[in-house]
Chains A and B, each alone.
Chain A
Amino acid sequence: MTSRAASQSQFRMIWRQFRQKSAAVRGLWLIAFLIGIAVYAPFLANDKPLYFRGVNQHLFRESLRPAAVELGKLIEVVNRGSTAQTQDSAAAAASTPAESSSTVPAANPVAGLQRAVKTAGALLTPADRDRLQAWLTDVESSNGGRDLAGLKSAQQVLQAQFLRGSVALQPSTSFPILFSLSWLEIWFMVLYPLFIIGAILATRERIGRGGWLLILLVPTLVAVGWWWLVPARLDRTPYKSFDRAGEAGADVAASAESPATASPQRSKSNGRFDTVVWPPVPYGLDEAYLNQKYTSPPWHEPVERLWTQTVGRLWGAAPSKPTESTETQPALTTKADPSERPAADGASAASSTPGRVAATHWLGTDGTGRDLLCRMIWGARVSLSVGVVSVSILVVIGIIVGASAGYFRGWVDIVLSRIVEIVICFPTLFLILTIIAFVGPGLFNIMIVIGLTAWTGIARLVRAEFLRLVEQEFVLACRALGYSNTRIIFLHILPNAIAPVLVSATFGIAGAILTESSLSFLGFGILEPTPSWGGILNSGRDVIDRAPWLTIYPGLAIFVTILSYNIVGEALRDASDPRLRGSRS
């Protein structure tokens, strides 16, 4: 169709103009980089390893635990069966069938038992697997013979030898982070590189409609496959408490041959690594170390000393010792316990990290000892998704309202313009603040409220464009051809009006991110424990004198994000229409 070809050449023209501004292209890459961080956050900051080869006792116990539950059910059934025989038949007959029908057929305990034993057995060494299998045969025969005593002793064996005692596991390989991902995350992770490639190809005009379809189809197929094949599982394995192979107390397998001698403290060991690869930031989102709260970034103290010695002295500041800020801590720590004192620098923080992961808190920690860099990486998800989702909402509303007003004119235009006029009177941040205060905070509320309140700019823009375009001949031609109004609006007029909308949407994303972080900063936005840049800033407000990194780094992240969106928006506007130079809505 001609209109599509026209719009494509329009985008080509815009891109050619846009490319000439190196700052704008860099801003675009920066945005892509930030989105990449948000998309791949689980691989960048996590308390699980990327790759793990070794013995995972915790996983074994977790997968065997269902067996204990199913065995309990079996015992209950057998028990009830035996009591029902001895009791008065009238009372028992009334209650037992009803109850047993509600518990037993829901999940066949024997089948569940076999499944659990099978999955757990796969982790064992052949000798122990046979032992477990023998145990299962015992249980099955006892169950067949309705042997209550046999079942109960089997239960004890399960607890003592397999669940609490140590068994010999064979080393297994796993990718804990990968398999903790949801299908949606997989979708984004596959889409992201494809989309970047597609965008690069599009700038060289080497991709058509089929290519874009493929780019959307591949991640969707992968995500569906993931959803189908990989069970959603919460991996609670405490990898950080694992021992490295060869360390003292780590050799669980050595004593496993004689389970009777397994000491109680030996059973505390959860596993050991042979090889492990941690993500760059080996800290989890909610991984709190109270003894490390307000740990400063490793370079913080030298920089501060430099500051006080040069600029501070120059400006007439009294020489203050850096230790003073930690001396004022007792109000917060309450105890004189030296371990409660915030660690002075990153090195000592790393050495006191529980588990065998020696890692620095590159950007320090917050008030509960959580790693700031990790929270900022995950917070990027919130901030960037708020921008994109709320702007999608407001663009859709704005286009529909503006297009109807500009296309139909008459009383539709009068009514819609009046509504726009009324909504425009409310200052946006103020309006959003009020609604959020009464509706309640939360990520989705913020997205929706920003989307529902900030659409007036785009509506006015689209209306003006439509008023101009409706007069032109191609619309008359479309009408003469008998096209429906929807078709004319969306397929013929809108492509001609989309460039200013794109520009406005880019600024809108910057505005939405700013609004979200302002709300979170004021305490109305995204609340703990969900990480967001504005929320971290809010948590740093009261400790700004002794933990300024809680303000500086998330603030910089917000600043850089908004800056790059603004640069890109500005260049887009100049490229799309020089007449619009200077306008922002």
Chain B
Amino acid sequence: MWTYLFKRTLIMLPTLFGITVITFLIVRLAPGDPATLRYGNAGEAAAGANSERSTESAEKRFRERHGFNQPLPVQFGMFLKRLITFDMRYYNRDAPIWPELRKALWVSLWLNLIVFVLTYVLAVPVGILSAAAPNTLFDRWTAFGLFLLYSLPTFFAAELLRILFINPRQLIWFPVVGLQTDGFEGWSLWAQWLDYLHHIVLPVICLTYGSLAYLSRQMRIGMLEVIRQDYIRTAEAKGCSKPRVVLVHALRNGLFPVITLFASQLPAMISGSVIVETIFNIPGMGRFVVENMFAREYDAVMFDLVIAAVLTMVGILIADVLYVLVNPRVSLE
């Protein structure tokens, strides 16, 4: 087990390097650099030769200080060094990105953890139920509903919820903006928690339904395939009750497809909630990323991309290990 993990990590290293190279190329090969962004507009706005010359020299100094006048390979080396030493910073205000990143990460982590648990808790039973009684009324209608949900774009669903719960209709069941009510600091911890839960209802619905639809469809298909097999018939023949056949005999094998999907769920912590966080104005990773893209904060964006890619890699690794854990027929070697 541990040797396997060690080997996998070793294999991941070149991929990791490739990820950093691609990230760097995407961001740096686009025209412009932080210096032109920071001083370019100022130079246009400032009138007079004097101020122009001073911004020009400031731009030059800025470039030299951060190494933007160096050739690309050198810049890549500097980027790697900054990445390893965690020295990423905002160029517009010359500050490290960490305080804000930590806050945003914390918000997104909690939100997506709830979404993640909710997705699996709902998707697995729905999949099992519809696979246990295929082609019944329940199965057909859930299949139809899940297919609709699967095709429903997140932003459309979120906007529809906003239409439903926004002011003129006075349906203020759930707030549509932010994560806390103003002035929540003075409340008791319990009240703060309730307030938080109240705020995240709509975002969680939007984040959950898509993966829920996908997962339960996969679950149903996986279960159906297992239920067709001979050993299930044997179990039925020897007199096992239906719940026992489905939950004890079939479930374990039916879980494989759902487990492999774990890999795609993990990076959603960063990338999956871009749209929902923007719509509901949640200060999480998604909005952090979009704001930095609009402001063209090179380091922040590069770091986000690297994190997202690394999370996918870790997700794939975890999925592989879990796959072996539930399926003893496959060994780690």
Contact = CB atoms under 8 A, between A and B. Distances in A.
Interface in A139-186: none
B195 interface: no
Contacts of A438: 26-27, 30, 293, 296, 301
A317 B305 contact: no
Contacts of A518: 153-155, 275
B274 interface: yes
Interface stretch (A81-89, A256-264, A273-281, A421-429): A421-429
Contacts of B267: 427, 430
A285 interface: no
B308 interface: yes
A318 B170 contact: yes
A437 B294 contact: yes
Contacts of B151: 510, 559, 562-563, 566
Contact of A426 (B153, B168, B218, B309): B309
Given A425-B313, A437-B296, A558-B153, A537 B26 contact: no
A585 to B, nearest CB: 11
A280 B333 CA distance: 67
Given A427-B308, A430-B271, A544 B159 contact: yes
B163 A418 contact: no
A517 B153 CA distance: 9
B62 interface: no
A556 B148 CA distance: 12
A510 B270 CA distance: 23
Contacts of B19: 422, 425-426
Interface string A301-341: 00000011000100101101000110000000000000000
Contacts of A537: 155-156, 159
B65 interface: no
A425 B309 contact: yes
A315 B172 CA distance: 10
A563 to B, nearest CB: 4
B175 to A, nearest CB: 14
Interface residues of B, number: 55
Interface stretch (A62-70, A482-490, A545-553): A545-553
B162 A434 contact: no
B275 A307 contact: no
Contact of B156 (A308, A318, A546, A559): A559
Most buried by A among B156, B257, B296, B313: B156
A79 B304 CA distance: 69
A582 B153 contact: no
Contacts of A524: 293
Interface residues of A, number: 55
B18 A422 contact: yes
Contacts of B218: 582
Contacts of A541: 159, 279
A199 interface: no
Nearest to B162: A544
A430 B270 contact: yes
A318 B169 CA distance: 7
Interface string B250-272: 00000001000000000110111
A425 B26 contact: no
A433 B291 CA distance: 12
B109 interface: no
Interface in B2-39: 14-15, 18-19, 22, 26-27, 30
A497 B257 CA distance: 24
Contacts of A556: 156
B308 A422 contact: no
A interface secondary structure, majority: helix
Contacts of B155: 517-518, 521, 534, 537, 555
A435 interface: yes
B163 A548 contact: yes
B159 A317 contact: no
Contacts of A433: 274, 289-290, 293
A430 B293 CA distance: 11
B163 A559 contact: no
Contact of A308 (B153, B169, B275): B169
A545 B172 CA distance: 13
Contact of B275 (A324, A521, A562): A521
Secondary structure at the B interface, as helix, strand, loop or mixed, is: helix
A514 interface: yes
A479 interface: no
Nearest to A570: B147
Contacts of A510: 151
A434 B18 contact: no
B203 interface: no
Contacts of B309: 422, 425-427
B152 interface: yes
Interface string B303-322: 01100111011000000000
Interface in B142-170: 147-148, 150-156, 159-160, 162-163, 166-170
B15 A551 contact: no
A491 B56 CA distance: 59
Contacts of B160: 551-552, 555
A425 B314 CA distance: 10
Contacts of A563: 147-148, 151
B217 interface: yes
A68 B166 CA distance: 59
B171 interface: yes
Given A524-B293, A544-B159, A317 B312 contact: no
A522 interface: yes
A425 B271 CA distance: 12
A431 interface: yes
A434 B305 contact: yes
Interface string A18-30: 0000000000000
Interface string A508-546: 001000100110011010000000001001001100111
Interface centre among B155, B170, B267 (most CB of A within 10 A): B155
Contact of A422 (B22, B147, B169, B257): B22
B289 to A, nearest CB: 8
Contacts of A426: 19, 22, 305, 308-309, 312
Contacts of B268: 427
Given A427-B267, A430-B274, A548-B163, A307 B169 contact: yes
Contact of A434 (B14, B163, B293): B293
Contacts of B27: 434, 438
Contacts of A435: 26, 30
B153 A418 contact: no
B170 A555 contact: no
A320 B172 CA distance: 13
Q: 5 smallest A-B Cβ distances: which pairs?
A: A438-B30, A430-B271, A582-B221, A555-B156, A437-B293
21 contacts: A307-B169, A308-B169, A312-B170, A315-B171, A418-B14, A418-B15, A422-B19, A425-B19, A425-B313, A426-B305, A427-B268, A427-B270, A437-B301, A514-B153, A541-B279, A545-B167, A548-B163, A551-B163, A552-B160, A562-B151, A563-B147
Given A423-B22, A427-B272, 12 more contacts: A320-B168, A421-B18, A427-B270, A430-B305, A518-B154, A541-B279, A545-B168, A555-B156, A558-B156, A559-B151, A566-B147, A582-B218
